[in-house]
Amino acid sequence: MPEGKLGNVVTCPRCGNEIGHEYYLDEITMLDCGGVLIRRLEANCKQCGQDIFWIVPNVHLERLIKRARERDNKIV
């Protein structure tokens, strides 16, 4: 997987509870939550119950995979 960069803190829009951090992989922003990179999340804040959604469209992931494969082929 390509190297990424940790970004801003993601918080609950209602109570401000910390959910995770943005994690940038090229132009894709994943959610870094407890050491796991999340591309799709449908959950509730454990403090206030607010619905939390995080979705990375598949087309962005397909582009990232294609670029990673192209880089791997250049290395070989």
Q: Side chain identity at 68, as an amino acid letter?
A: A
**Gap between the Cα atoms of 34 and 59, Å rounded:** 25
Q: Side chain identity at 42, as an amino acid letter?
A: E
> Which is it for strands 36-38 and 28-33: parallel, antiparallel or unpaired?
antiparallel
> Which is it for strands 28-33 and 51-55: parallel, antiparallel or unpaired?
unpaired
Q: What does each C-alpha distance from 55 to 30, 62, 71, 76 come to in angstroms?
A: 8, 14, 26, 33
pTM, rounded to two decimals:
0.71
Digit-coded pLDDT (tens) for 53-73? 999 887 777 887 888 888 888
The torsion angle over the Cα atoms of residues 21, 22, 26 and 28, rounded to 10 degrees, is 130
Digit-coded pLDDT (tens) for 32-44? 998 899 999 999 9
